[in-house]
Structure formats: structure tokens, C-alpha cells
Amino acid sequence: MKIMVVGGGGREHAIVKKIKENKAVTEIFALPGNGGIAMDATCVNIGAKDIDGIVKFAVENKIDYAIVAPDDPLVLGAVDALEEKGIPCFGPRANAAIIEGSKVFSKNLMKKYNIPTAEYEVFTDMDAALKYLESAPIPTVIKADGLALGKGVIIAQTREEAKDAVRSMMQDKVFGKSGDQIVIEEFLTGPEVSVLAFTDGKSIVPMVSSMDHKRAGDNDTGLNTGGMGTIAPNPYYTDPIAWVCTEQIFIPTVQAMNKEGRTFKGCLYFGLMLTEKGPKVIEYNCRFGDPETQVVLPLLETDLLTVMQAVTEERLGDIEVKFSDGSACCVIMASGGYPSSYQKGFEISIPENIADSVYVAGAEIKDGKMVTSGGRVLGVTATANSLEDAITEAYKKVEKISFEGAFYRHDIGARALAAKKEI
């Protein structure tokens, strides 16, 4: 089988490596892929947002199955366009990807179907938003409606900060049209849990839970990033909490999307906060998370392509999806300076014996050598029977990889280990 994976980050590298395990797979194309993915797939220089280019490539190369991983092409309708040409796909159609593409849509969906989430107001008029902020509880959370490269959420600690965020989104249009509408919502507190789930619109199969580490520095200091590391499973996500989430959030979301005529098929990502009043949805994503995928897929024991095809063919309920009982830890190695400005072009050295567990995000091949080309350069994952061992092993591997200016957090999983002792 010829497989096409759309995207070019660490998540896509993890998907490619897992798909490769299926013996029926003869060739994998990554569009556009990256310098690391090139070790495991044929990279094709077509951007993930170039829907026409993606469809043309898939048709010309007789692709048997397509996996669309990033949010942008899903929201732009890549799956709809590929399906029109008869190419089976993993990923939601555009009318379901809106669950991530529009925060206003997702908040209204949750309100309509009583799915627990933060209280909120929607604004299309800047003056009304600014007036509301005169008396809104502080801290408050300002969210641009549309996709904003993961930067569209501002947690404002003061009224002035909140107003500045509103002005930058609605007046200065820092996120373009994504800021035409905004959501202002209640600030929630509690441990965060990411749960990715396979769903075909009929059944939903949650994968092993995980915990992201978004701040750049140790002990959750410094700027927000795309994610500096992950562990799985997340110790805060106990069996009783999982049961509540399934009953109050996962199944109701799948049913709500069906009732709206927007059946979701693919990977639905639940960003949850475990508040004192129970689990609440912080955000939905219409895709696998990055870097959650880099710890979740290594723990998947069932063949990934088989699960994906069952989703496409709406027979997920007929198969068993198994995860290992072990734990995983992924440490991201980034370019010095990230998430602010950083230099590129430094040679990356990865010993052969650990290459299997390295997921490359920002690298390219120059003069036959792999060099850095992005902020988050790569993730290194280890799996083990215990979380302690997974963390130790991941850091041992990190020490064997080098590139100039490389930095990483030293405490990935520390909070989870502490939580394990409390719970």
C-alpha cells in the first residue's frame, strides 16, 4: 500500500514510524515532511496547506490511503477534496474540523449540549468586549475565534492586559481574520490532561492520557511554547475521572457533532482541566496533538493503520485497540532562544542506535547533513514499565544527541511523578 502523510513535524514523524510497522505498507510519502522524516519516508515538497497540490499528488501517485495530520489542511477541507477523488483518508471533513477551527463554534456546541466547559461570552464588537472587561472577573482568558498557530489564547492577569489582548486581536488583527470574533472566558484552575481519541462517529476509543509541558523553562517558567515535552499516562487521569470524562464529555461530544450533521471521524483531542467542580473542556483539537503523539503512539500495541482504516470505514467498534500498561516520556530539544528568535543551520548528530525513538520536527538536509531549521528541533521518547524509568531513559538518550545551542527542559515528568505520590 502507498500511504501519504500530510504534515512535517514531530507528530508526523511519529505517525510515519508507526505506520511503517504495517507489512502491507510499501511506500510512505510525507508532504512536505522534514529532514528527519526523510529517513523513514519519501518527502515531497508540497506544503500542508496546498490542498490542490496535495490532491494532485495523491491522484497522480495512486495513493491508497491518506493521513491528514495538521489542523490547517483539515480546516481547509483536505479530506473532503481527497475523498472526492476516491482516496480514503484519516481525518475529519471540514464541517467537523470546525470543532478546532472556530472557538465560538466549539463553545456554543458545549453550551447547547451541556458539555462542561468554562463560562464565556462571544464578542464581534471590540467596544462591547472592552466594556465587558471593565467588570469581568480577573484573571480572564481571551481567545481568538480561528486558528492562530497555537498563539491565540491569552491568559490576562490584569484588566489592562486583557484589554490589550482584545485590541491586538480585534483592532491590530495580529491573527488576521481569526480575531474577527473572540471568546472571553472564565479562568479555570486545576491539573491539565490531554486525551486523544479515535472516533468514527459511532464509537469513541480514548487513547492513553498524557501531560504536555508548555512553558519553555524548568518548573513551568518562561514563555509558552508549542510543547517542551510529554509523559503518558497522566497520573491525574484516574479511572474514576476517566469514567466521568467518557460519560460527560467524550460520548456527548461525538453525539453532539452527529446531531449537528457534522459527524467527526478521525482523532479528536480533548484538552481537559480537572477543576474542583469536575473535568472541563479547555479546548478541542481536530487532530493528534504535538508532542502528545510522540508518547501516545509508542504505547499503542494495535497496528495504527488497521485502527485508522477502521475509523474511515466506520467499524471502529468491531476492533480491539490495545495500549501497553507501561509509560512513556518525550523530551523536546529546541534551538537556543526558542520560542523567541533563534539561529538555524546547525548540524545535528543522532547516534544510529537511538534514531528509532527520535521524532524530528525542525530539521532539513543540507549538503547531505541534517541541520536545524526550526524552533523545536526534535523529540526523544523512551518507554518503560514505570514512569520513573521512562524519564531516566529519555534523558539518557537526550545526552547522546547534540547540536549547537540545543536546550531542553530538565524536569519533564517531574510534576507527574510528584502527583503519583499524592494520588
178 counts as binding ligand GLY under rule CB under 6 A = no
**Of residues 38, 122, 188, 365, which one binds ligand AMP by CB under 6 A?**
188
Number of residues assigned to the chain: 423
161 counts as binding ligand AMP under rule CB under 6 A = no
**Of residues 16, 28, 94, 141, which one binds ligand AMP by CB under 6 A?**
141
Could you tell me if 286 and 96 are in contact, meaning their C-beta atoms sit under 8 angstroms apart? Answer: yes
Name the residue type at position 269.
Answer: Y
Cell of 148: 492562530
**Of residues 91, 152, 206, 289, which one binds ligand GLY by CB under 6 A?**
289
- Least separation in angstroms between residue 6's CB and ligand AMP is 21
In whole angstroms, how far apart are CA 52 and each of 266, 353, 379?
Answer: 21, 39, 31
Rounded-to-integer distance, Cα 408 and Cα 418, Å: 20
| Candidate ranges 20-28, 179-187, 246-254, 306-314; the one touching ligand AMP (CB under 6 A) | 179-187
User: What are the residue ranges of helices labelled H in 124-272?
Assistant: 126-133, 159-170, 239-245, 251-259
Site residues (CB under 6 A) for ligand AMP, limited to 240-279: 271
150 counts as binding ligand AMP under rule CB under 6 A = yes
Nearer to ligand AMP, 170 or 281 (CB): 281
**Of residues 155, 242, 384, 406, which one binds ligand AMP by CB under 6 A?**
155
Report the C-alpha dihedral over residues 238, 389, 328, 29, rounded to 10 degrees: -170
Nearer to ligand GLY, 150 or 405 (CB): 150
- Give the interface size with ligand AMP as a residue count (CB under 6 A): 13
Nearer to ligand GLY, 206 or 309 (CB): 206
Sign of CA dihedral 81, 83, 88, 92: positive
- Which option in ligand AMP, ligand GLY, none does residue 192 bind, with CB closer than 5 to 8 A by kind? ligand AMP
- Least separation in angstroms between residue 270's CB and ligand AMP is 12
The strand pair at 2-7 and 65-68 is best described as parallel
Cα–Cα–Cα angle for 381, 325, 220, nearest 5°?
A: 45
| Upstream peptide bond of 191 is cis (omega within 30 degrees of 0) | no
Nearer to ligand GLY, 72 or 290 (CB): 290
Could you tell me if 361 and 320 are in contact, meaning their C-beta atoms sit under 8 angstroms apart? Answer: no
Nearer to ligand AMP, 140 or 383 (CB): 140
Q: Strands, E, within 23-96: which ranges?
A: 27-32, 42-43, 65-68, 89-90
212 counts as binding ligand GLY under rule CB under 6 A = yes
Position with the least CB separation from ligand GLY: 289
Cell of 391: 524519564
- Least separation in angstroms between residue 90's CB and ligand GLY is 17
185 counts as binding ligand AMP under rule CB under 6 A = yes
- Least separation in angstroms between residue 360's CB and ligand AMP is 22
Name the residue type at position 35.
Answer: G
Could you tell me if 39 and 354 are in contact, meaning their C-beta atoms sit under 8 angstroms apart? Answer: no
Cell of 80: 473532503
The strand pair at 89-90 and 120-123 is best described as unpaired
Rounded-to-integer distance, Cα 67 and Cα 223, Å: 32
290 counts as binding ligand GLY under rule CB under 6 A = yes
**Of residues 102, 140, 253, 285, which one binds ligand GLY by CB under 6 A?**
285
- Which option in ligand AMP, ligand GLY, none does residue 289 bind, with CB closer than 5 to 8 A by kind? ligand GLY
The distance of Cα 108 from the centroid of its chain, to the nearest Å, equals 22
Nearer to ligand GLY, 40 or 283 (CB): 283
| Candidate ranges 24-32, 242-250, 283-291, 394-402; the one touching ligand GLY (CB under 6 A) | 283-291
Binding site for ligand GLY (CB under 6 A): 150, 212, 227, 285, 289-290, 292
Binding site for ligand AMP (CB under 6 A): 118, 141, 150, 153, 155, 185-188, 192, 271, 282-283
